[in-house]
Amino acid sequence: MIQEKQTPMREQPAAERVHNFNEVPLGYTPDEAVQEAERCLQCGHAPCVKGCPVGIDIPGFLEHVKNREFAKAISVIKQDNALPAVCGRVCPQENQCQGVCTLAGRFDPVAIGRLERFCADWEAENGAVDMEKPAENGKKIAIIGAGPAGLTVAGEMRRRGYAVTMFELLHVAGGVLMYGIPEFRLPKDIVQREIRALCEMGVDVEVNQVVGRTQTVQELLDGDYDAVFIGTGAGLPRFLGVPGESLNGVFSANEFLTRTNLMKAYLFPEYDTPIKVGERVVTVGGGNVAMDASRTALRLGAKESVIVYRRSEDELPARAEEVHHAKEEGVQFQLLTNPIEFIGEKGNLKAIRCIKMELGEPDDSGRRRPVPIEGSEFEIEATTVVIAVGNGPHPLIPQTTPNLDLNRWGSIVADPETGLTSIRGVYAGGDIVTGAATVIEAMGAGKRAAAAMHAYLSD
Amino acid sequence: MYKILKKQTLGPSIREYIIEAPDVARAGKAGQFIVLRLHERGERIPLTIVECNPETGGVTLVVQEVGKSTREMGDQFHEGDTILDFAGPLGEATDIENFGTVICIGGGLGIAPLYPIARDLKAAGNEVIGIIGARNKELMFYEDRMAAVCDELIVKTDDGSHGTQGFVSDPLKEILESGRTINHVWAIGPAIMMKVCADVTRPFEVPTIVSLNSVMIDGTGMCGGCRVDVNGTAKFACVDGPEFDGHQVDFDLLMSRQGYYHEEETCSMDDYMSKYPEGVEQ
């Protein structure tokens, strides 16, 4: 008899967690992990592996978990994924491995993400396994941007024997894992633990490096490096372009989250970077970043946190789990609503003028297009608004690299299979190519690019 | 880690540092800035580059101790010490060419970033008129350095304790009204000073470049906190600037945004002072 439902994972209660930045889901115990792993049918054709952008041998690691061979389980995962503790927490498994699980449909799919997380955390608690430092093959690669795509390329290439140097613009490696995703969803010491593991493999991480200004991509190629990977992400915040957007109190989600996560403004004045939230914080947008911002606002002391989204609940692009967590914590949803003006007083935001929307015909994305309802304008009083409507490509490398082909949004044009750009020896992957997507998709692109770079450098 | 090669006091709460950062020293140009972070709990502080020395790897900065972090830097970071993070060069460099006759105006701390621009404009063949101003004699610095790169140098103080009494916009106006041909103006200093200077040059239609010091976090185009309205469009001071056409900048908005964290800055300073009630040995 198969257990129909997933083994539940304990969580911090909503009423408690809105007052702290500690992680919300608490992880499985070994017994819970074994219980959940026993649900895997070992079905043979393993659709989950094809559903995983980095192709982890999922039945293989689940079998080890079932047999309480946790060290073997994590070794299997790490063959394909350098960031298991991260992916176990932030991957949208419901659309990937778990979405295609043979159990799904009749029963709950196997909780693959939770088990991946369990294995990574088990390793952290019980001492690292498999820390061999591969011998160098004499070739060097440079990686620009130490986010999910770059870190994946680093691990893949180091394992193949390349000397790897990562150039990171910020003062810490991790990219969006450090500045974007909140502590309560992805603790920063877990991210750093995974980066440390790469460093122990021999990856060299150089922070505070402004490639494009201190040295160009071409100079890296002409100098020490045989190939370059660009994984500089989608860091440029988009705004709405409505009046009043430069008022004090209007934040991009990037600013709001960077202050809080990267600079630890929630510990101000112990940490030097401040942040300000009003009694009511309005977040514009319906994706995972909007959920992160609205939940962060509550933890920073906002009494009310409201999501304003122009379509309906069915179209919310955020993961169901994130929406669920936000609702549990008391985030309110003002759906089918769009801001049309920010109203200020003495330079500070006072209210947001909105218009109600209805859904019309499907647009290019296949979703029904939101259409404003004439005469339905109304105001929401708020002194803080966070704009979470997406990011564009980080401009520095595109602007400073002649001969690098870009598309009309300013993203780098790269072969989807190999990541090769218009410059020989230069590869790119992740959000700088696709526009804002997920951590694991960036990692998948990194993995493909690493294979292609290896083939190129082996010729 | 980045070593402080040299530190000297230029005036009350104004200090010059030379920081060892060879990559930045090799690539940095007039008009660009760096971001530094003193320690693990520190904030990212944007500072405009004064001078880069590719031979020694030194980058010169001038810091005015106006808030907790700059105060802490002045109090606790000495020659030979290291600071944790130092990234640059950031932003677009000044467009240096031979314009003809130019006026370079620096107010207060703005004299520091103005100096390399005046120097490079002079080297490019321009006739350079310098105007520098400070509240009083003690707060004036780099007069000798400016004199060395300017064909004429006018010195103003608000209280008349040095040079002549008045604001930097006064001689600017006199020169323009005299009918002398001025091809380009740079004005760097407090927002209000840049606003007044841009207002003075506007009727004469002399291109006027200002350098904006808005509040920013990463300094690389990611937070958007530094956005300023230029000719009605939002621009990021960090990647689109820091220099902009002074005639198109909404200075009132800039000043309002600069003041947004005033309460928190006071709180941070109070917290710091409560830990060091006696002050720190200089």
Q: Quick: pLDDT tens for B108-135.
A: 999 999 999 999 999 999 999 999 999 9
Of A363, A389, A415, which one is at a domain's C-terminal end? A389
> Which of B183, B215, B210, B178 lies closest to B197, judged by CA?
B210
Residue A332 lies in a domain: yes
Q: Is residue B280 part of a domain?
A: no
DSSP A170-232: SSSS-THHHHTS-TTTS-HHHHHHHHHHHHHTT-EEE-S--TTTSS-HHHHHHTT-SEEEE--
B78 and B168 fall within a common domain: no
Structural domain count, chain A: 3
Q: Is residue B235 part of a domain?
A: no
Instruction: Note down the domain range covering B150.
Output: 94-208
The answer to whether the CB atoms of B84 and A171 lie below 8 A apart is yes
Minimum-distance CB partner of A213 among B27, B84, B229: B27
Tell me the pairing of strands A227-230 and A140-144.
parallel
What's the structural domain count of chain B? 2
Residues B68 and B101 in one domain: no
Domain CATH code at residue A18: 1.10.1060.10
Clarify whether residues B84 and B104 are in a common domain: no
Q: Domain check: are A337 and A405 in the same one?
A: no
Same domain (yes/no): A178, A217:
yes
Please tell me whether residues A333 and A201 are part of one structural domain. Answer: no
Residue A135 lies in a domain: no
Instruction: Name every residue whose Cβ is closer than 8 Å to that of residue A219 and which is 6 or more positions away in sequence.
Output: none
Does B110 share its domain with B180? yes
Q: Which residue of B has its CA nearest to A257?
A: B223
Is residue B221 domain-resident? Answer: no
> Of A126, A161, A194, which marks where a domain is finished?
A126
Residue A371, both tokens: 């259409």
**B110 and B77, same structural domain?**
no
Which of B90, B119, B150 represents a domain boundary (last residue)? Answer: B90
One domain, residues A268 and A378: yes
Closest-approach residue (CA) in chain B for A175: B222
A292 and A176, same structural domain?
Answer: no
The share of chain B scoring above pLDDT 70, in percent, equals: 98
| Final residue before a domain boundary, out of B169, B191, B208 | B208
Distance from CA of B186 to the nearest CA of A (A): 24
- Residue A160's domain spans which residues? 140-235+392-458
Q: Are strands A163-167 and A204-206 parallel, antiparallel or unpaired?
A: parallel
Q: Which candidate, B146, B137, B151, B133, places its Cα nearest to that of B196?
A: B133
Answer whether residue A1 is part of any domain. Answer: no
Q: Is A307 found in the same domain as A414? A: no
Are residues A340 and A254 both part of a single domain?
yes
Do residue B223 and residue A239 have CB atoms under 8 angstroms apart? no
Give the distance from residue B135's alpha carbon to the nearest chain A alpha carbon, in angstroms. Answer: 28
Q: Which residues of B touch A235 (CB under 8 A)?
A: 220-222
Residue A209 inside a domain? The answer is yes
ipTM score of complex:
0.93
A164 and A117 in a common domain: no
**How near does any CA of chain B get to the CA of A250, in Å?**
9
In a domain, B237, yes or no: no
Q: Give the DSSP H or E segment for B113.
A: helix B111-123
**Do residues A245 and A385 both lie within one domain?**
yes
CATH code, domain with B138:
3.40.50.80
Indicate whether B60 and B104 sit together in one domain: no
Is B268 in contact with A269 (Cβ distance < 8 A)? yes
Interchain pair B239, A171: CB under 8 A: no
Q: B282 falls in which pLDDT band (50, 70, 90)?
A: very low
* pLDDT score for A221: 95
The alpha carbon of A89 is separated from its chain's Cα centroid by a whole number of angstroms, namely 10
Identify whether B245 is part of a domain. no
Mark yes or no for CB contact B224/A255 under 8 Å.
yes
B interface test, pick of A213, A254, A345 with most B CB neighbours within 10 Å: A213
Q: Which of A213, A215, A396 lies closest to B221 in CB terms?
A: A396
Residues B131 and B52 in one domain: no
Question: In terms of domains, do B68 and B109 share one?
Answer: no
Q: Is A274 on the interface with B (CB under 8 A)?
A: yes
Q: What is the pTM of this model?
A: 0.93
Residue at A5 is within a domain: no
For residues B149 and B204, state if they share a domain. yes
Note whether residue B128 is domain-resident: yes
Contact between A213 and A411 under an 8 Å Cβ cutoff? The reply is no
Nearest chain A Cα distance for residue B224, angstroms: 6
Q: Give the pLDDT of residue B189.
A: 96
Which chain B residues touch A271 with a CB distance below 8 Å?
A: 41, 43
**What CA–CA distance (Å, rounded) separates A377 from A1?**
56
Radius of gyration of chain B (CA): 18
Judgement on whether residues A84 and A223 belong to the same structural domain of the protein: no
Give the whole-angstrom CA distance, residue A76 versus residue A71.
9
Please indicate, yes or no, if residue B231 is contained in any of the structural domains. no
Residues B192 and B121 in one domain: yes
Do residue A84 and residue A22 come from a single domain?
yes
**Which of B106, B166, B184, B191 lies closest to B140 in space, CA to CA?**
B106
Residue A407 pLDDT: 95
Residue B61 belongs to domain with CATH number? 2.40.30.10
Cα distance between residue A238 and residue A245, in whole Å: 11
| Long-range Cβ contacts of A6-11 (<8 Å, 24+ apart) | A6/A36, A6/A39, A6/A108, A6/A109, A6/A110, A6/A111, A6/A114, A7/A32, A7/A35, A7/A36, A7/A39, A7/A111, A9/A111, A9/A114
The last residue of one of the domains, among A389, A408, A426, is A389
SS (H, E, C) A267-312: HCCCCCCCCCCCCEEEEECCCHHHHHHHHHHHHCCCCEEEEECCCC
What CATH number does the domain containing A342 carry?
3.50.50.60
What's the pLDDT score for residue B278? Answer: 64
Give yes or no: residues B84 and B101 share one domain.
no
Give the nearest chain B residue to A249 (CA atoms).
B260
Same domain (yes/no): A377, A248: yes
The partner residues of A281 in beta bridges, in order of sequence, read A305, A384
B211-226 average pLDDT score: 92
Co-location of B194 and B126 in the same domain: yes
pLDDT one digit per residue (tens) for chain A, 459 residues: 789 999 999 999 999 999 999 999 999 999 999 999 999 999 999 999 999 988 999 999 999 999 999 999 999 999 889 899 999 998 889 889 999 999 998 899 999 999 999 999 999 899 776 667 888 999 999 999 999 999 999 999 999 999 999 999 999 999 999 999 999 999 999 999 999 999 999 999 999 999 999 999 999 999 999 999 999 999 999 999 999 999 999 999 999 999 999 999 999 999 999 999 999 999 999 999 999 999 999 999 999 999 999 999 999 999 998 999 999 999 999 999 999 999 999 999 999 999 999 999 888 878 889 999 999 999 999 999 999 999 999 999 999 999 999 999 999 999 999 999 999 999 999 999 998 888 889 999 999 999 999 999 998
Last residue of a domain, one of B173, B208, B243: B208
With tokens 């001025």, the residue in question is: B182
User: Is residue B242 pLDDT above 50, yes or no?
Assistant: yes
Chain A residues touching residue B223 (CB < 8 angstroms): 237, 252, 254-255, 258-259
